[in-house]
Amino acid sequence: MSSIKDDEVFFFRLGNEITKTRECMAKRTKLCRFVNMFGAKPKALAVAWHLLQKESYLRNGLKRKHLLMAMCYLKRNISESEAHALFEVDEKTYRGWRNYVVEKLARLRVVSALI
Protein backbone atom coordinates (compact mmCIF):
# COMPACT_ATOMS: atom_id res chain seq x y z
CA MET A 1 0.00 0.00 0.00
CA SER A 2 1.35 3.40 -0.94
CA SER A 3 1.70 6.31 1.46
CA ILE A 4 -0.71 9.23 1.62
CA LYS A 5 2.05 11.53 0.34
CA ASP A 6 2.67 9.27 -2.69
CA ASP A 7 -1.05 9.17 -3.43
CA GLU A 8 -1.31 12.94 -3.06
CA VAL A 9 1.36 13.36 -5.74
CA PHE A 10 -0.34 10.74 -7.92
CA PHE A 11 -3.77 12.39 -7.65
CA PHE A 12 -2.29 15.81 -8.41
CA ARG A 13 -0.49 14.49 -11.50
CA LEU A 14 -3.51 12.50 -12.74
CA GLY A 15 -5.88 15.41 -12.10
CA ASN A 16 -3.63 17.73 -14.08
CA GLU A 17 -3.54 15.25 -16.96
CA ILE A 18 -7.34 15.01 -16.95
CA THR A 19 -7.80 18.78 -16.85
CA LYS A 20 -5.07 19.14 -19.48
CA THR A 21 -3.14 21.57 -17.29
CA ARG A 22 0.25 22.33 -18.78
CA GLU A 23 3.39 21.46 -16.85
CA CYS A 24 4.79 25.00 -17.23
CA MET A 25 1.98 26.57 -15.17
CA ALA A 26 2.54 27.70 -11.61
CA LYS A 27 1.80 25.08 -8.94
CA ARG A 28 -0.78 27.39 -7.36
CA THR A 29 -2.65 27.67 -10.67
CA LYS A 30 -2.56 23.90 -11.15
CA LEU A 31 -3.87 23.37 -7.61
CA CYS A 32 -6.66 25.92 -8.18
CA ARG A 33 -7.73 24.11 -11.37
CA PHE A 34 -7.62 20.78 -9.55
CA VAL A 35 -9.88 22.01 -6.75
CA ASN A 36 -12.25 23.67 -9.25
CA MET A 37 -12.64 20.38 -11.08
CA PHE A 38 -12.68 17.86 -8.22
CA GLY A 39 -13.84 19.90 -5.23
CA ALA A 40 -10.98 19.01 -2.90
CA LYS A 41 -7.21 19.19 -2.66
CA PRO A 42 -5.13 16.18 -3.70
CA LYS A 43 -4.24 15.44 -0.07
CA ALA A 44 -7.93 15.12 0.86
CA LEU A 45 -8.43 12.69 -2.02
CA ALA A 46 -5.38 10.71 -0.92
CA VAL A 47 -6.82 10.41 2.60
CA ALA A 48 -10.22 9.40 1.19
CA TRP A 49 -8.48 6.82 -1.01
CA HIS A 50 -6.74 5.31 2.03
CA LEU A 51 -10.02 5.20 3.94
CA LEU A 52 -11.70 3.48 0.99
CA GLN A 53 -8.91 0.90 0.88
CA LYS A 54 -9.70 -0.06 4.48
CA GLU A 55 -13.32 -0.85 3.58
CA SER A 56 -14.23 -4.50 3.31
CA TYR A 57 -15.84 -5.87 0.18
CA LEU A 58 -14.42 -3.42 -2.32
CA ARG A 59 -15.20 -4.18 -5.95
CA ASN A 60 -12.24 -5.53 -7.90
CA GLY A 61 -10.72 -3.01 -10.28
CA LEU A 62 -11.27 0.13 -8.21
CA LYS A 63 -8.77 2.75 -9.38
CA ARG A 64 -7.81 6.23 -8.27
CA LYS A 65 -9.28 7.51 -11.52
CA HIS A 66 -12.69 6.27 -10.34
CA LEU A 67 -12.41 8.41 -7.22
CA LEU A 68 -11.63 11.43 -9.41
CA MET A 69 -14.67 10.64 -11.58
CA ALA A 70 -16.92 10.53 -8.50
CA MET A 71 -15.49 13.74 -7.07
CA CYS A 72 -15.87 15.51 -10.41
CA TYR A 73 -19.49 14.39 -10.52
CA LEU A 74 -20.14 15.63 -6.98
CA LYS A 75 -18.49 18.98 -7.69
CA ARG A 76 -19.67 19.68 -11.23
CA ASN A 77 -22.46 17.19 -11.96
CA ILE A 78 -20.97 16.47 -15.39
CA SER A 79 -22.98 14.50 -17.93
CA GLU A 80 -21.99 11.03 -19.05
CA SER A 81 -20.98 12.30 -22.48
CA GLU A 82 -18.74 14.95 -20.86
CA ALA A 83 -17.20 12.27 -18.65
CA HIS A 84 -16.60 10.10 -21.71
CA ALA A 85 -14.49 12.85 -23.26
CA LEU A 86 -12.81 13.98 -20.04
CA PHE A 87 -11.91 10.62 -18.50
CA GLU A 88 -11.75 8.60 -21.73
CA VAL A 89 -14.16 5.93 -20.47
CA ASP A 90 -17.43 4.54 -21.78
CA GLU A 91 -20.57 6.26 -20.45
CA LYS A 92 -21.80 3.03 -18.84
CA THR A 93 -18.42 2.48 -17.18
CA TYR A 94 -18.47 6.04 -15.87
CA ARG A 95 -21.98 5.68 -14.48
CA GLY A 96 -21.22 2.40 -12.74
CA TRP A 97 -17.97 3.45 -11.08
CA ARG A 98 -19.24 6.94 -10.25
CA ASN A 99 -22.27 5.58 -8.43
CA TYR A 100 -20.24 2.89 -6.68
CA VAL A 101 -17.59 5.30 -5.37
CA VAL A 102 -20.12 7.95 -4.33
CA GLU A 103 -21.99 5.31 -2.33
CA LYS A 104 -18.77 4.09 -0.69
CA LEU A 105 -17.71 7.66 0.14
CA ALA A 106 -21.07 8.37 1.74
CA ARG A 107 -20.62 5.37 4.02
CA LEU A 108 -17.20 6.35 5.30
CA ARG A 109 -17.45 7.29 8.97
CA VAL A 110 -15.56 10.55 8.50
CA VAL A 111 -17.83 11.69 5.68
CA SER A 112 -21.11 10.50 7.19
CA ALA A 113 -20.29 12.26 10.47
CA LEU A 114 -20.05 15.56 8.59
CA ILE A 115 -23.42 15.19 6.86
Q: Write out the chain's pLDDT in tens, 115 residues.
A: 689 999 999 999 999 999 999 989 999 999 999 999 999 999 999 999 999 998 878 899 999 999 999 999 999 999 999 999 999 999 999 999 999 999 999 988 765 444 4
Nearest to 67 by CA among 82, 53, 80, 54: 53
From residue 59, give the alpha-carbon distance in Å to each of 45, 97, 107.
19, 10, 15
Say how many domains are in the chain: 1
Residue 63 φ then ψ, to 5°: -125, 160
Q: Which domain holds residue 80?
A: 4-114
Contact in structure between 34 and 68 (CB atoms under 8 Å): no
Spatial separation of the C-alpha atoms in residues 63 and 60, rounded to whole Å: 9
